[in-house]
Structure 1
Amino acid sequence: GRYPRVSRTNIQRLIKQGAITVNGRPTKASYEMCGGDIIEMVLPAPEPMEIVPEDIPISVVYEDEYLIGVNKQAGIVCHPANRHQTGTLANALAFYASRLSRCTHPFRPGIVHRLDKNTTGLMMVAKTDEAHWRLSLQFERRTIQKTYLAVVEGNPALDGDTIDAPIGVHPVVREKFAVMVRENKIDIGKPAVTHYEVLERFRGYALLKLMPKTGRTHQLRVHLSHIGHPIVGDTMYRGRPVSEHSLTGQGSYEILFDHHALHAWRLAFRHPITNKPMEVEAPFHPPLKKLMHILREHLHV
């Protein structure tokens, strides 16, 4: 018989896995069938269409009837993908909340916007479909004010500035992005604009407030590296990990954290149901709190 929902690629993979046999024996894709051959195929179980709830601790900084504000930890992806079917924020939310929006994708309940795996901080989650699409519309129209905090290497010359530099896929490393400017001509890239302010200065480091006006992938990380102030710990974009000893010359050599020091701090928006202006903030997690304590105690200017 025919199996219209099984692609040729999947059939070839099943043959390689030995899940398809001819006359009780493994076969090859190139085998030419003969009359009387008995073909048996063991189809894998279909992938679940529902998110699997998992008891993963999450930090909730805001909650009402329609929204949840989560302070995301580093090292956790937002929703299941090819390499991450479990252990995601979506799995944790499915366990935590009795109701989440379903208007985008069965594997992304409540997820209105995302943060990189190793970026910490505030994410707003929708409990109802109406709250979801109304909040999504604010993100799409860029009426939501997003504010990040980052600890960077070096001290910017200005107390504040705007980085206006287009971003595109890195020409060599597929997982990276880069500012796409060659000989003062814009190459293949999308417009990207970031405003920044210096909040605190330290010897060799600075705490910045970042306000992206566009939402390109890795935008803040790429822009800060581009101006010569990569984010602490962002090894992909020339940032270096730090330890207590590397910062102060004493104490532990163990690195403080294995992610970049970028934190989604605050979102200012209108409540998707009541239309009231809102500001929700998420504090630093312990690793970044420890970094700030060391900088303020030992390296303050």
Structure 2
Amino acid sequence: MSVVNLTVTEDEAGIRLDRYFRRHYPHLTQGALQKLCRTGQIRVDGRRVDASTRLEPGQSVRVPPIPMAAKPSRDVPRPLDERLVREIRGMVLYQDAHLIVLNKPAGLAVQGGPGITKHVDMMLDGLREGDDPRPRLVHRIDRDTSGILLLARTPGVAARLAASFRGRDIKKIYWAVVVGRPDPQAGEIDQPLVRLGAGPGALTVAADRKDRDAQSARSVYEVLDSAARKFSWLELSPLTGRTHQLRVHCESLGTPILGDPKYGGPLAHPSGMTDQLHLHARMLDMPHPAGGRLSVSAELPAHMKGTFRDLGFTAGATPAPVRRGG
């Protein structure tokens, strides 16, 4: 075994060093990697680095001798039931060589957890093409929320898209049906939030600005239509990305989202209405990794279409995906 020097590719731009090693040396543990960084055995362009360092194309990564068991292994797709392959392929709204956009159904979790036996993450091998890498989740939406979910085809694209989310370069629009009508009918909600507990029972609640655990949370809303002040159709855009942010912000307006199983209490479950969460990730407008911008919209789920019909709301046709420039 001897020292080797690897060159960071264009696709790996922005990837963290630990994720770079996970890709090339999947058996190397995080602890072992950190030790190699601390002792200067792993270097980038001759300089000492830590595991969180982000890499740029053309940089040289010094890799010391690594035990045989930690040499690269071929990424072999896991066998996946053909029904799950058809199901996840049926969710695809847009795809190209860089990314995939899904319309996730309500009730399907994005990742696994206690009591979750089926989720998007376990189905991603169904979207692989030949020997291409397994697509990667870029962000998440709640299990009960339907709509747009973004995937990256390669680690480098995942890193660039994640940076766009961190830099607020991505515009997200959600549609919701809420109980009541907000006053005023448009505005910005600037309500800090705090997360209480852990696991499935954890809750996000409104917090005092002086609370040291409070996190800034801001959302923009507008009433698109209403039905006798009893129900309203809102367009929501989160300006920050806190867990359950839109659901708690709607509750803070006194207009909880219809069918919300966690927030709003009995007010969110009026008699005679479909008892499912009425929150849908409708549109994503984002910088495309290859240049220009991509805009994708997702059709409403069946339960929200039914509610729109019952309340007289008209959503109109769902626009086709559009890529501008680039």
Aligned position for 2:308: 292
Structure 2 counterpart of 1:95: 126
CA contact (8 A) 1:101 1:132 kept: no
1:129 pairs with 2:155: yes
Output the CA distance in 2 between the equivalents of 1:53 and 1:170.
Answer: 36
Matched, 1:278 2:263: no
Deviations 1:55-105 (A, max 9, x none): 331321111122111000111111233543x42112222123326655xxx
CA distance in 2, matches of 1:113, 1:171: 22
Tell me, yes or no, if the aligned pair for 1:52 and 1:91 is still in contact at 8 Å. no
Distance in 1 (alpha carbons) for counterparts of 2:212 and 2:253: 18
Number of positions where the alignment pairs a residue of Structure 1 with one of Structure 2: 229
**CA distance, structure 1, for counterparts of residue 308 and residue 92 of structure 2:** 22
- The question of 1:72 aligning with 2:104 is answered yes
Indicate how the Cα distance of structure 1 residues 93 and 180 shifts in structure 2: closer, same or farther if over 3 A, else same: same
Partner of 2:256: 230
CA deviations 1:243-266 (Å, max 9, x no partner) are 6xx25xxxxxxxx3x431110011
Aligned residue for 1:199?
Answer: 224
Query: Does structure 1 conserve the Cα–Cα contact (< 8 Å) formed by 2:106 and 2:301?
Result: no
| Alpha-carbon contact 1:180-1:187 (below 8 Å) kept | no
How far residue 127 of structure 1 moved from its aligned partner, in angstroms, is 1.2
Mapped partners of 1:124, 1:149: distance in 2? 17
Counterpart residue type for residue 309 of structure 2 = H
2: CA distance, partners of 1:170 / 1:68: 33
Q: Please state how far the C-alpha of 1:219 moved relative to its aligned partner.
A: 0.3
CA distance in 2, matches of 1:211, 1:171: 26
What do you get for the CA RMSD once the two structures are aligned?
Answer: 2.5
Distance 1:213 1:283, change over 3 A: same
**TM-score for the superposition, normalised by structure 2:** 0.64
Displacement after TM superposition at 1:179 (Å): 0.5
- Percentage of matched positions with identical amino acids: 32
Indicate if the aligned counterparts of 1:144 and 1:267 stay in contact, CA closer than 8 A.
yes
Q: Secondary structure at the match of 1:195?
A: strand
Q: How far 1:159 moved relative to its partner?
A: 2.3
SS of 2:178 mapped into structure 1: strand
Q: Is the 8 A contact 1:101 1:126 kept in 2?
A: no
> Counterpart amino acid of 2:203?
K
Shifted more, 153-162 versus 211-220: the winner is: 153-162
Query: Are positions 1:180 and 2:211 aligned together?
Result: no
Give the gaps of 5 or more residues in structure 1: 1-48, 103-108, 248-255
Identify which of 150, 159, 181 aligns with 2:176.
150
Q: Deviations over 1:234-288 (max 9, x none)?
A: 0311153356xx25xxxxxxxx3x431110011111111x211111111101111
Indicate if the aligned counterparts of 2:276 and 2:303 stay in contact, CA closer than 8 A: no
The structural deviation recorded for 1:130 is 2.0
Q: Which secondary structure does the structure 1 equivalent of 2:136 belong to?
A: coil
How much does 1:227 deviate?
1.4
Which blocks of at least 5 consecutive residues in structure 2 are unaligned?
1-75, 314-326
Distance 2:299 2:276 in 1: 17
Equivalents in 2 of 1:77, 1:51: separation in Å? 19
Determine the structure 2 residue equivalent to 1:117: 143
- Residues 216 and 143 (structure 1), Cα distance of their counterparts in 2 relative to 1, 3 Å cut: same
Cα contact 1:149–1:208 (8 A) shared by 2: yes
The structure whose Rg is larger is: 1
What residue identity is the alignment partner of 1:91? M
Partner of 1:53: 80
Q: Which amino acid aligns with 1:228?
A: G
Q: What is the one-letter code of the residue matched to 1:89?
A: V
Give yes or no for the alignment of 1:261 onto 2:278.
Answer: yes
Kindly provide the CA deviation profile for residues 89-134 of structure 1, in whole angstroms up to 9, marking residues without a partner as x: 12222123326655xxxxxx41111011111000111112222111
Q: 1:241 aligns with which of 263, 269, 273?
A: 269
Contact 2:175-2:280 within 8 A present in 1 as well? yes
The letter of the residue matching 2:294 is M
Q: TM-score, normalised by structure 1?
A: 0.69
Task: Please say if residues 222 and 237 of structure 1, whose CA atoms lie closer than 8 Å, have aligned partners that are also in contact.
Answer: yes
Question: Is residue 146–residue 268 contact of structure 1 (8 Å, CA) maintained in 2?
Answer: yes
Corresponding residue for 1:167? 193
Q: Distance in 2 between matches of 1:138 and 1:101?
A: 21
